Structure 1
């Protein structure tokens, strides 16, 4: 480079100013191209492999002071499901191969604990489980939100006030388990409808709102606004207060198979909200104040959920067990096995201030959600009522969890997980918010 610079200076003394400028420009361009080529061919860092790193209970932040009595009670509800299943039934996630028999000995021990005390509960988890975490050169962090059982107002019959239908499962909805056709598509399902001899995508939210399933799906109840219907779909279950004083409990039954788009994202992209103020309460206020925009905004979410009436007055999760407010967690079944205890460390909103409160608790994976995607991603079930509504509506915080897996299976699961060669970018967040 020094030699070239000297040569240019020597030459420039003998040529005209115009040619000198041209020569310098050409030389500069050559240097830039050479630099870019060097960058292009320079070895790029490889993505880091994900591993399952085993730890100890002493490493769990806050474990020494934790009260896990309610956590054990929530785990006992999952145990009742495990003990009903055949020992060889797969109950793991897509990447963690577990069978019912892996949980059953611990479950029998859990259900035998009477009376439950915090000391006995903590000793139980420490005896039967080992903490592991997803690791790629650092502990993987993720996003944690909250959900609740909303209270809606409705009627069994359509009226001028109650004119928004909550649909049951349509008669033409078809669900195909692709794993039955090819093991490579295990755990993947296709949802659609028959059109002649073909299966085509099911109707979108906009098409359903235009009446495409009026004659195909039963109306369980009529409510008073479409915003609450979307919130009911997001939460997965809810309570409808009827004019005669009776309450109808509704739970998730099926979905149209279309991709989910967060209403918050739509409004953020429009520039009317930010990530910091797009709470459920703020979204509802905005849409109620702009009724002409409401359907256009809501229809951006093509996903649509169908419900069923629950015979028992409680919220039930994907595992088929009653959810415990503050202790049940919705997770991504691709990564986390249903029923897994998870030591969660994050923060949550305080009811009467803008402050965030530390939240360290042993949760039980008992539910899933259309927007809950990622190896470290969770949605805390807060129950029903004003407090639950507030916390769930404002919770959107970073956090981390440790999986408590059956001790006898940890070494095997670590080897199998490593053999999958799952690569992940070395970054803090692994998922998008709902």
Structure 2
């Protein structure tokens, strides 16, 4: 039996655990830095809120634009394993450079460049662990998503606490340590990873029907990417404007103790970790009964649920007026938002990987991250309205964006289901 195919965790190959842990520490570093970023700019660097929003949106956008180039480089020249190791090393350096205030912009650029090689090359290896008809492959992306969120859970508690209580630079340094840990795990577990696929060969003339199928696939993936962009314009506010509201609009008192504002950023990943196994069991039962929801429809449901979460915030802020909102409402918001997130984000990543043409796995997965790039830019622009409109109106705007995304995904569901299944 192939060692990489042994079942060791949730009935999945061992290689998934290695990828899970590597990405967990990479996300620890990314979210650790992101947790501090807006606070650092507004409190330490004394940037105006609208300027900080634009920088935040631009940085997160560039971190997801560089994977387009990085995915092509990995597929054609470096290979996925080399791209992960080189990209992760560059990112670790960037996180440590964040500890030096004059190097702020250089550090952001360095992290974004390293992310370009790392990000598409790691999750695109998941597909290579499974046969094309293996029913576990779709659910593997939800398991993998848990790994991302374990890192996201730890990041605010470690990096956020260090930055908020002891100094921003300690938090940034801890993020760099996390990135190095991820690289060490990846190197130690290489024997469980799938073999490196051949580099992309020179173009060969394909049959007209194959070319037509590929064109239709790319157009539909573009449509899903546009919907994901609109959705991200709302979703990414949890790292942009929502922390500002938590700081000034939420009563964080609990039994005489004031909950640190960065701790609330751990709620989302904590809920992902606790809710994913229950959702996977429910989806597996539906699949066994022959009622499995199609990927695009599942994503549409998720976008609608996120819209409900923002409607809740609009309602409680309108009722509260100038008073602070109890922290329990914030917890309720994160519960609803996370439920919707689990329907849309890992499903979208899995859909792009599933429809990837042969030998273009990293490039196609990178196309999913292009939607995160454009959505992050949109989030930065939308976030500029935070200081210009009332909070209830702003949260209703975010709900509207999520509903538009749901409508687009619902419209794309039937043509996506009609696509031929790729032979990978």
TM-score range, shorter chain: under 0.3
Q: TM-score, normalised by structure 2?
A: 0.22
Q: TM-score, normalised by structure 1?
A: 0.21
RCO higher in 1 or 2 (8 Å CA, sep ≥ 6)?
2
Q: Which has the higher helix share?
A: 2
Larger radius of gyration: 1
